[in-house]
Amino acid sequence: MSASAPGTTFIVLMLPFLAALIAPWLTRRLGHNAAWALALAPAAIFIHFLGFSAEVAGGGIVTGGFQWVPSYNVSFSWLIDGLSLTFALLISGIGALIILYSGGYLKGHDQLGRFFSFMLLFMGAMLGVVISDSFLMLFVYWELTSITSFLLIGFDHSREASRRAAIQALVVTGGGGLALLAGLLVIWNITGVSQVSLLLNYGDELRGSPFYLLALLLVLGGAFSKSAQFPLHFWLPNAMEAPTPVSAYLHSATMVKAGVYLLMRLNPVLGDTVWWETILPVFGGATLIVGTLLAIRQTDLKLMLAYTTVSSLGLLVMLTGFGSDYAISAAVLYLVAHSLFKGGLFMVAGLIDHEAGTRDVTKLGGLRKAMPVTFVAALAAAISMAGLPPFLGFLAKEEIYYALWATDPWSLAFVAVAVVGNGLMFVIGFAVALKPFLGPKVKTPKHAHEGPVLLWLGPLTLGVAALVAALISPVTHRFISSPMASAIAGQPETVTISVIPHMGPALILSLVTIAFGVIAYRMLDRLRAGMAWLLAAIGWGPDRGFDQFISGAVRLSVAVTRLVQPGRLDIYMTVTFLMIAAALIGPMAWYGEWPAMPVWPEDAQFHELVVAAIVLIGLVAVIYARDRLTAIVSLGIQGFAVALIFMLFGAPDLSFTQFMVETLAVVILALVMTRLKLHASDHRPTLQKVVDMSVAIACGGGFMLYLMAVTQQPFNTALSDFFAAYSKIVAHGANVVNVIIVDFRGTDTLGEIAVVMVTGLAILSLIRIRTPRATVADNDPDRRPGKGPAQGREVS
Amino acid sequence: MEPILAILVGALFTVAIYLFLSKHVIRILMGAAILGNAVNLLIFTAGRVTREVPPIIPGDADALTGAAANPLPQALILTAIVISFSFFAFLLVLGYRAFQELETDSSDDMRVAEPVGDKTPPSGY
Amino acid sequence: MRTVIFRSIAPYLTSLMVLFSIFVLLRGHNEPGGGFIGGLIAASALAIYGIACGVAPVRRAIYFHPMAIAAFGLFMSAMAGVLSVFASVPYMSGLWIYPVLFGVEIPLSSVLVFDVGVYLVVVGAISSIALALEERDRD
């Protein structure tokens, strides 16, 4: 089969990125109709992955890839089994519809090309997450989905709410990504494998490790933040600031399921422990209830859907946590069903917003005549969401009740949670699908009529898909549900449920749910008022907490900055030199390796001592000089004395250079100093002098001791011998110093003369640029009245 | 001879750092000039010193034989001297220009980049 | 500083120093000397000329802008390394030729080209700094 060739799969994985690259150009050419062309990319991906379904349905696993960083044993490799295949099909299939929908939704938007680009980038990243076999690749793609999500939420970046939501999503999911990385590294450390496909054999080893809990908690940090589990759920509703196609695609159908995907992927190795089977159901159940209750409170169609997405994710986590055969099949069915109906409902909400001009459910009504196709699509999605036959949602809900039903109190509690959650989702589903369409016609900001084909094609297709998938359930199970459930369970599983209801507790629970839903639907307004009152009474939520966290972080960093950067040069200097002194003296004190007491060099000659004394005199004179000129001359004296030292110890080159440099330094110092009207001497308070002198002596003494210690060690002459031996034979030069500079180390010298050159340029520009005095003290460009930065400087 | 040079290096560093800790730009500049000498002499001494014989291969020999100064530190220092000089010149001009613009040579009063009572960053998004 | 005597001898002094600097540069490979020292001597010569007679005559005398000289030197040094491409040896390998001119064998090398580049960079950059600072004297 040619489609399974590794090269093709790699190209397919890169296809969204390539499409993202050409999207702006294509959009400039074709306008919103570029959507038709760009949707070909996900469609091609969909078809490519469809090619694997026969093999995967037969229990096969397709892997491929190549070495990426061989030295670290990191590979770019992929794994296609039931789980990743289902996700890949959902991502590419819904992706194609969303691209089309975006074309209609943002028609005429001047940033449409950029939008397409981001969407396709996200698609590539998300595909990478579910298809990755190597941990590192998984992490990279995982963070890439966070980043693209940030870009998409902040797409309308001129609004503050949008920026806040984008930053919030990035902080929460990006932070979770770091936890995930840590978790994967722990797992890597425990098992020694860095690939998911190999990891599956190490389940017992991992569960038996003392670091199991650490790895679990870190991985859960990643999964829970991405999949918006309570109490990290708050970013998801805020992410509704993004344009509706983004909400439909990222924040309901695909990205938020990455956390669930991860849990499902790691279920065979991390699952089946007390921790797993406690943490996941508890957090999942809490998320389910909190999500639905908050959804009731909302009147914005998108926010209602967003909160039910939170609760659906909770339900999925809860089911994954139970880990029984039925729970896993239920999770599989619900995941697929949810992607189809929630994606569809979001697109319907966007369509209503687009055509009627509002998405406030209390200001909508009677649209069924104006928007019949939308109404049908909405109804199909809502029926699936409510779990009524004959849609896929019904199968999922039946399977959920099968999985949960037992008579011990622990299970009964979760049954109750599921019934309440499902019942409230029933309410929201129908509130979104019925309220805007039924009842008397309400005046809307825009005159509503049916949207263009680009807009209703997506939701309608998804609705039909949910229906067909349920009607031909044996086929669905053979190609989708069973392989996926097998991959999650780590052993072969068969899903059998069909649209024909079975008599039993599950059916009764379904009926209870529906009854509860119908009653709640009729009381929706009162429930909403009650929730509003309750939330106002509580008054604090994680969303507020996020603001407090961010402002606290800003205040903390301001305080730390003020502490470590007080803006006083002398403080910086003191700290720096103290550190240097500590670095010099510390190791010697720690290891007790002080230099031996130096013996007086008997061979020291009188003139050498005189030169050394001149250096010292020059130094003292620099400090105590009464006026600047004396200081400069003293500076020159010590410099010339150093040049003499070079001369005395066999370095004529250095000596000449030093003489010239000291002369020039004294000359230009004198040139500049004569022009400065300065106080004659240094004013330091006595205490300051004592402190400064102590620091200076500590540092200087450190250098002295260090140098003594070094010179008391035997000297390794290997390098010098090399230069001495080959200077003439190889480089034809007798002056070894010069040969080193221009030949052996020529490239170094090239860099050094470049530095000299750049310094010269910098000095010239410093001398020539003049800044008007008034603007110097004020570096805030907004506070320069009537002066642009271009006028701020002039060249003399 | 190394112990004496080591003491000299220590003295050069001490004075350079003492000048660096001053608030006056001109004294910091002088510190920079002395610091260059200190570092050069440090490298020179660490490569061990030999009296008077420069590392130049005699006309009739193919390689440096007998006692001669170590050429490697000399090569390092030679470029270092020129670079530290151009760096010194840059600092000098920088200090001079700063004095012209800000009318002060005290580092305490040079607060353009880090103003006193800097505003807290905006708390919005 | 601008005494008559100083002003009178400065041009000669400068010429001598520049000549000496070139001598120091060329002998550098076998005797003490080289591009850095030579460049510094020449730069000091120009600085002295500038102090004695003003900056404008110096700028006229060297004709090119000092930074242009430095840039040319940097280019020359970099190109000296590139020469080794034609001999198929690694970058910056020294190459030598010995043409005989008037019966005297003159050793020429890419290393010498490199050293001359160093000389020009040092002359250009340092004298440009010195001249710029001297120029500020009058405003």
Judge whether B29 is closer than 8 Å to chain A, CB to CB. Answer: yes
Which one of C20, C40, C93, C110 would you mutate to disrupt binding with A, by most A Cβ within 10 Å of its Cβ? C40
The answer to whether the beta carbons of residues A17 and A53 sit under 8 Å apart is no
Residue found by looking up tokens 């103003």 in the block:
B115
Q: Residue B90: closest CA among chain C residues belongs to which residue?
A: C129
Q: Which residue has the higher pLDDT, A304 or A679?
A: A304
pLDDT at B43: 92
Residues of C in contact with B89 (CB under 8 A): 126, 129
Residue B17 lies in a domain: yes
Q: How many domains does chain B have?
A: 1
Q: Supply the mean pLDDT for chain A.
A: 84
Calculate mean pLDDT across residues A573-582.
92
Residues 78-137, chain C, touching A (beta carbon < 8 A): 78, 81, 91-92, 94, 96, 107, 109, 111, 114-115, 117-118, 121-122, 124-126, 128-130, 132-134, 136-137
Residues A184-226: pLDDT tens digits?
Answer: 999 988 888 888 888 888 888 888 888 888 989 999 999 999 8
Instruction: Characterize the bridge pairing of strands C104-105 and C100-101.
Output: antiparallel
b/e per residue, A348-383, with b = 16+ CB within 10 A? bbbbbbbbbebbebeebbbbbebbebbbbbbbbbbb
How far, rounded to the nearest angstrom, does the alpha carbon of residue A699 sit from its chain's CA centroid? 43
Q: Cβ-count burial of C102 within 10 angstroms (0-12 exposed, 13-18 middle, 19+ buried)?
A: exposed
Calculate mean pLDDT across residues A515-523.
85
Q: Is A605 left (phi over 0), alpha (psi -120 to 50) or beta?
A: beta
Indicate the pLDDT class of residue A486, thresholds 50, 70 and 90.
confident
Indicate the pLDDT class of residue A788, thresholds 50, 70 and 90.
very low
Q: Positive or negative, the Cα torsion across B41, B42, B47, B49?
A: positive
Predicted complex ipTM: 0.91
Residues A381-421: pLDDT tens digits?
Answer: 888 888 887 888 888 888 888 888 877 888 888 888 888 88
Residue found by looking up tokens 């090619």 in the block:
A51
Residue B59 lies in a domain: no
Instruction: Give the Cβ contact number of residue C99 at 10 Å.
Output: 9
Residues 402-441, chain A, touching B (beta carbon < 8 A): none
Show the tokens assigned to A330: 């239920």
pLDDT at A772: 55
Instruction: Characterize the bridge pairing of strands A769-770 and A74-80.
Output: unpaired
Q: Is the pLDDT of residue A790 over 80?
A: no
Residues 6+ apart with CB under 8 A from A562: none
Indicate the pLDDT class of residue A460, thresholds 50, 70 and 90.
confident
Q: With CA atoms as reference, report the closest residue to A623 among C1, C120, B125, B17.
A: B17
pLDDT at A678: 65
The answer to whether the beta carbons of residues A660 and C44 sit under 8 Å apart is yes
Calculate mean pLDDT across residues A89-98.
90
Residue B96 lies in a domain: yes
pLDDT at A1: 37
Three-state DSSP at A234 gives: coil
Residues 548-577, chain A, touching B (beta carbon < 8 A): 551, 554-555, 558, 565, 567-570, 573-574, 577
The answer to whether the beta carbons of residues C77 and C114 sit under 8 Å apart is yes
Calculate mean pLDDT across residues B61-84.
84
b/e per residue, A30-59, with b = 16+ CB within 10 A? eebebbebbbebbbbbbebbbebbebbbee
> What percentage of residues in chain A have a pLDDT greater than 90?
16
pLDDT at A677: 66
Residues A233-277: pLDDT tens digits?
Answer: 888 888 888 888 888 888 877 888 888 999 988 888 888 888 888
Calculate mean pLDDT across residues A744-757.
89
Residues 6+ apart with CB under 8 A from A314: A229, A230, A283, A284, A285, A286, A287, A288, A289, A290, A291, A421
Q: Is the peptide bond before B54 cis (omega within 30 degrees of 0)?
A: no
Query: What secondary structure letter does DSSP report for A438?
Result: S
Which residue type is seen at A772?
P
Would the CB atoms of C125 and B56 count as touching at under 8 Å?
A: no
Would the CB atoms of C96 and A732 count as touching at under 8 Å?
A: yes
Q: Cβ-count burial of A576 within 10 angstroms (0-12 exposed, 13-18 middle, 19+ buried)?
A: middle
Residue B45 lies in a domain: yes
Closest Cβ–Cβ partner in A567, A701, A707 for B46: A707
Q: Residue B44: closest CA among chain A residues belongs to which residue?
A: A646
The answer to whether the beta carbons of residues B62 and A728 sit under 8 Å apart is yes
Range with lowest mean pLDDT among B53-57, C8-12, C104-108: C104-108
Q: With CA atoms as reference, report the closest residue to B66 among A711, A608, A650, A643.
A: A650
Three-state DSSP at A192 gives: coil
Which residue type is seen at A634?
S
The answer to whether the beta carbons of residues A341 and A462 sit under 8 Å apart is yes
Closest Cβ–Cβ partner in C34, C129, C133 for A741: C34
pLDDT at C70: 92
Indicate the pLDDT class of residue B118, thresholds 50, 70 and 90.
low
Residues A105-131: pLDDT tens digits?
Answer: 888 888 888 889 999 999 999 999 999
Q: Residue A668: closest CA among chain C residues belongs to which residue?
A: C130
Judge whether C73 is closer than 8 Å to chain A, CB to CB. Answer: yes
Q: Residue A773: closest CA among chain B residues belongs to which residue?
A: B101
Show the tokens assigned to A621: 């004179």
Residue A685's φ and ψ, nearest 5 degrees, are -60, 155
Q: Positive or negative, the Cα torsion across B39, B43, B46, B51?
A: negative
Q: Is the pLDDT of residue A791 over 50?
A: no
CA distance A496 to A506: 15
CATH of the domain at B24: 1.10.287
Q: Is the pLDDT of residue A74 over 90?
A: no
CA distance A768 to A762: 10
Q: Residue B54: closest CA among chain C residues belongs to which residue?
A: C32
Helix locations, A731-772, DSSP H: 736-739, 746-768
Show the tokens assigned to A672: 């500049």
Q: Is the pLDDT of residue A704 over 90?
A: yes
pLDDT at C69: 92
Domain residue spans of chain C: 4-138
Residue B7 lies in a domain: yes
* Segments forming the whole domain that contains residue B104: 2-51+69-109
What number of C-beta contacts closer than 8 Å exist between B and C? Answer: 20
Judge whether A667 is closer than 8 Å to chain C, CB to CB. Answer: yes
